[in-house]
Amino acid sequence: MWSCLFKFILLTSIGSSIIHGVEEVVPDTLENSIKQGLEGYLNNEKSPAELNQTIRDLQRLNLFRTKDKSLSKASCTACKAGLDVLINARRKGVEKEKFLDVLTKLCAWLKLESEPVCHATVALHIDSLAYIVDNKKDLTSKRVCSIILQEHGCEDPDRKNWTIDIPASKEKPLYVRKECSKSKSLKILQLTDIHYDPGYEAGSNGACQSAVCCQNGSKPSQPENAAGYWSDYRFCDTPWYMITNSIDHILTHHTDLNYIYFTGDILYHKVWDTSIPGNTQIIRDVLQEFKKLFGTTPIYPTLGNHESHPVNLFSTEGVDEPQLSTQWLYDLAAEEWKTWLPIETRETILKGGFYTTLIKPGFRIISLNSNVCYTYNWWLLYDDVDPYGQLQWLVKVLLDAEENNEVVHIISHVPNGDDNCLHNWSREYSKIINRFAHMIAAQFTGHTHHDETLIFFNISNPSQAINVAYNGGSLTTWAHVNPNYKIYEIDSESAEVLDYETWIFNVTDANLSPNISPNWYKLYSFKDAYGVDNLCPHELARLTERMAKTPSLTQLYFRYKYKEADTMLARGCNNQCEIDNLCRMVISYSECTQQCETLKEIYNFARH
């Protein structure tokens, strides 16, 4: 829902009903309908009711809520037509207030959200959007659509295809994994996507028509709609007492933790209700609780896309206006993270929210701000070339680590294989992983709220698995997932992941006994559940082939991906769902599809 609303802000993303069976799209007719409707509305020649035909055209095609390739051309046409009108209107002097009024009314009229929520969301983004249109003189609708609708294949032939300078290895990098040491292993906790909501209230309306429910003061229409005490499977975030309960359980049952990786997203999903002071207070509250409860255990954090204000926006270097700049967040991170990090990390944190440090001699961690690749970060429209020079910095850090014979863990928030990570950024990052795969022992991400695994393959030899990224899931239950954390067993010398455990509690069961602490339990250990000898990339690649052949394994992955949430188990996972899950495991960037196609062939052959 929110992806649709964010696209709407930029291009009046008017697609709401899901109607199938569209066999033919006439781009010229659609383009004219959109242009005439929007131009008339902006020029005060038409009331919202008179835009009915344009609305019906877009609703009929369901353009922005489906990935149906047959509709991709129409999606791009609609996007470019709408944006041509909006960009030209702004350049002809139409004031921001007019855009705010128009977009708010359309958003509410289309029932994407209530009018107050529509107004607040658009109002938070309007200054950034106006700045980008006003100051990027060569901005075109094709450029915008090629970024925000990249999953639909929209193209901009004039867009710069940038690359990162990656020096070749002096010797051929070895993809053979190191032998595990005989010394005692390390234990690392991954905690991610907390999404703390100060407004959560047990017994409030959990079945609202908004993007976030369970809000204090709201009343359920039926008893079954009441929000649970220990959160809720519906569109609800995390109360404070659930955060502290989770940490108390971790500290009680995992007394041998060496390190903690926190992979981002402290803030709630009420993206219309953020502010710099409000975000700052919530971030400080959560991090101070980490410091108090985890004590001297080192924590290595990264930023999530919800930490920024407005949500998703990480401003371009040189944009200094206080209402536009993300510098406040980098200043805050540098101050709050200094408890766990050496002073040497401060420079790059202040520059763009990323850093590197040694965990111990020979073992380096790199924390990236991968939110800059998120296609809902409007600042990519202004300048998408390696924001903050971060990827080029990553190459330098890895070259130095290679020279010093170090092994590396990389943590970030938005996964590289995510559909909404800018393809250019994602491709260059994959090339860096390829070059340094012999020393990058593992990657750890968040953002999706799902317990997932992503395998990277050799670009030169696409059947050869070379690296693995582990997604930590989420503490929030938003939406239709059980809360979880992960415990990794790490080889103390090679830093390889030897195994991991996912721990959860069942929301339905917990809410039956609100006065009792939830029954946290180990859902599974990866090695035991999937019957693998180790978690090396080639072993996991073979596992995906076994999964494609074995229905019980694909169903098991589905169950664990959603952490056995009752609502998702009730929905089930059909053949297309299983194929999608398999392909998400092996597509580390948009052009890396060979393994996906191979798995599809194996899957289809095994079932026919």
Q: Which residues are annotated as a binding site?
A: 193, 195, 265, 305, 413, 447, 449
What's the distance, CA 145 to chain centroid?
A: 20
Per the listing, tokens 């999937």 go with: 530
SS3 238: strand
- Could you please report the per-residue DSSP string of 115-161? HHHHHHHHHHHHHHHHHHHHH-TT--HHHHHHHHTGGGT---TTS--
Characterize the bridge pairing of strands 355-360 and 363-367: antiparallel
Closest CA to 305 of 397, 231, 211, 368: 368
Count the neighbouring beta carbons within 10 Å of the beta carbon of residue 351: 18
To 5 degrees, how large is the angle CA 500–CA 452–CA 529? 45
* 76's tokens: 């791009």
What's the distance, CA 81 to chain centroid?
A: 28
* 184's tokens: 């005692």
Residues that constitute the known binding site for Zn(2+): 193, 195, 265, 305, 413, 447, 449
3-state secondary structure 442-492: EEEECCCCCCCEEEEECCCCCCCEEEEEEECCCCCCCCCCCCEEEEEEECC
Cα separations (Å) of 489 from 3, 247, 253, 485, 508?
Answer: 36, 19, 15, 14, 30
What's the distance, CA 508 to chain centroid?
A: 26
* 312's tokens: 């998703």
What burial letters (b/e) apply to 460-473, b meaning 16+ CB within 10 Å? eeeeebbbbbbbbb
Alpha-carbon gap, residue 368 to 412, rounded angstroms: 5
- Inter-residue contact 390 to 367 (CB < 8 Å): no
Cα separations (Å) of 499 from 135, 301, 486, 555?
Answer: 50, 22, 10, 21
- Inter-residue contact 265 to 234 (CB < 8 Å): no
* Terminal Cα distance for the chain, rounded: 36
